[in-house]
Amino acid sequence: MDLATSRRRTALFALFLTAGLGISSWVTRTPDIRDLLGASTAEMGLVLLGLSGGSMTGILSSGPLVSRFGARPIVAIGSLAIVLAMPLIGLGAALSQSLPVAAGLFVFGLGMGGGEVGMNIEGADVERVIGRPVLPALHGCFSLGTVLGAAGGMALTAVSFPVAWHLALIGAATLPLVLWSVLQLPTGVGITPAGRHARGPAVWRDRRLALIGLIVLAMALAEGAANDWLPLMMVDGHGLDPAAGSGVYVAFAAAMTIGRFTGSFFLDRFGRAAVLCASAIIGGAGLALVIFVDNAVIAGAAVLLWGLGAALGFPVVLSAAADSGPNPTARVSLVATVGYVAFLVGPPALGWLGDHHGLRGAMIVVLAFLTLAAALAPALRSPAAAPEEREPAIAR
């Protein structure tokens, strides 16, 4: 690997880490922000609409923008938006004003939604250049960032450190890292000939890519459901206190981090299809124990299986999408969009089911999708690979 490619990969590691650090930093201070705003649960839900609106805007616009301008400017704008949103959210909370907080969350979501699609396109291109898996480790850096941010946020919450200063310091600390990282990315990655991306949705006529889209939907739902509902499910469904419920979520995030950093070893040896199938089975087994076994200790331990199983789904499926046919930018963009929509929209739908059947009962839907992902895993094999051959992690 030449020096430029090595720096490019390191820069992507740093950008994914920054995104994870940002999202967990503000999430851990959400109770304090709610108290500073004096908001009810319903009012806090309205504030959080800023995040959802920004995320969906970023996700749906990123593909055409990357196709026209390349991934680098989209990644730059998205990453800077994440950094600059931190102090804006903190300032709004300090002023007890909901509108600046909602605006900050919109900017944050815009950066996350658009920037991460661009970063995944960059990561898939690095895989093409070096001929081995990169996306699992990149997403591992995101998970590592969430663990570090959550641990830091919990510690600062415990000592009543002001929210505004906390989020401002996160923004100040990550800004130089983002600026350096963006400069390491090449120009032109992801640009397609004029009008080509306009035909991008036609790639869904590719049956294999449609199956890949179903797999990413299932795996992203498994990850998003835990991010949104795991602590509450452990409290309401298994009788843990709130601190213990949060601790179970940290364990889930740590399991995902380990799974993503070790995933390349298994991908090199067994290929995407086998690893994804095993991941879906492992995640499904852990989720089934959480749902059906009425024992908090067993459920807490099973969350580790859930995290390990969900870890590789998103990065492995994006890598397969890039290899599935011509116009990889459109393919990665469309599959990433499906994944992020499932990640963001799926969990609220599970909340509606949870109101009627309990959160443990609602998770049966996620379990069904993981079963579907395991069944569809052969679609991740390279079409050029001989049936008796194991598919390498990057088939180029």
In this structure, the answer to whether residues 34 and 176 fall within a common structural domain is: yes
Query: Which residues span the domain enclosing 48?
Result: 1-191
In this structure, the answer to whether residues 245 and 308 fall within a common structural domain is: yes
Q: How many domains does the structure of the chain reveal?
A: 2
In this structure, the answer to whether residues 151 and 179 fall within a common structural domain is: yes
In this structure, the answer to whether residues 269 and 247 fall within a common structural domain is: yes
Percent of the chain beyond pLDDT 90? 37
- 53-112 tens-digit pLDDT: 888 888 888 878 888 899 999 999 999 999 999 999 999 999 999 999 999 999 998 998
Percent of the chain beyond pLDDT 70? 90
CA-based nearest residue to 68, from 187, 178, 153, 229? 187
In a domain, 394, yes or no: no
Confidence check: pLDDT of 369 > 90:
yes
CA-based nearest residue to 118, from 170, 81, 143, 91? 81
The amino acid that residue 314 corresponds to is: F
Domain end call among 149, 174, 191? 191
pLDDT of residue 92: 93
Confidence check: pLDDT of 327 > 50:
yes
* pTM, full prediction: 0.77
- 263-282 tens-digit pLDDT: 888 988 898 899 999 999 99
pLDDT of residue 24: 84
As a three-state string, the secondary structure of 148-208 is HHHHHHHHHHHCCCCHHHHHHHHHHHHHHHHHHHHHCCCCCCCCCCCCCHHHHHHHHHCHH
